[in-house]
């Protein structure tokens, strides 16, 4: 019987708030990515920084499934990052890939 595996990619564009030191924000974002990587179901968490817009950050995240994303938002480190209020979400979108593994 075929088994469906879903992988969900999340791309989030963040803006570092104007009253926040950029280096401090980058340090917090890097730690947040490390924390995300320890979550069950988080397969990847990468931050990239725009050289032309110093306040622009792109987070690239990969999750095993929808439950992993749901759990991400209730994790203490996610709540702590949100409460620090150092960035604002500009936009985010998801791309879901499904593949069917055939039993051999």
Domain coordinates in residue numbering, the chain:
3-98
Q: Where are the beta strands (DSSP E) in the chain?
A: 3-16, 42-49, 56-63, 87-101
| Weakest-pLDDT range from 2-6, 13-17, 78-82 | 2-6
Pick the CATH number of 3-98 from 3.30.360.10, 3.30.70.100, 2.40.50.140, 3.30.470.30: 3.30.70.100
Is there a contact between 74 and 81 (Cβ–Cβ < 8 Å)? no
Express each pLDDT in 40-72 by its tens digit. 999 999 999 999 999 999 999 999 999 999 999
């Amino acid at each position: 019987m075929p088994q469906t595996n879903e992988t969900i990619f999340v791309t989030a564009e963040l803006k570092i708030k104007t009253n926040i030191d950029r280096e401090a924000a980058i340090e917090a974002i890097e730690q947040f990515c490390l924390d995300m990587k320890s979550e069950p179901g988080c397969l990847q968490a990468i931050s990239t920084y725009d050289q032309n817009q110093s306040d622009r950050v792109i987070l690239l995240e990969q999750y095993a499934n929808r439950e992993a994303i749901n759990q991400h938002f209730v994790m203490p480190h996610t709540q702590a990052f949100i409460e620090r209020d150092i960035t604002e979400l500009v936009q985010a979108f998801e791309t879901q890939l499904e593949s069917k593994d055939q039993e051999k």
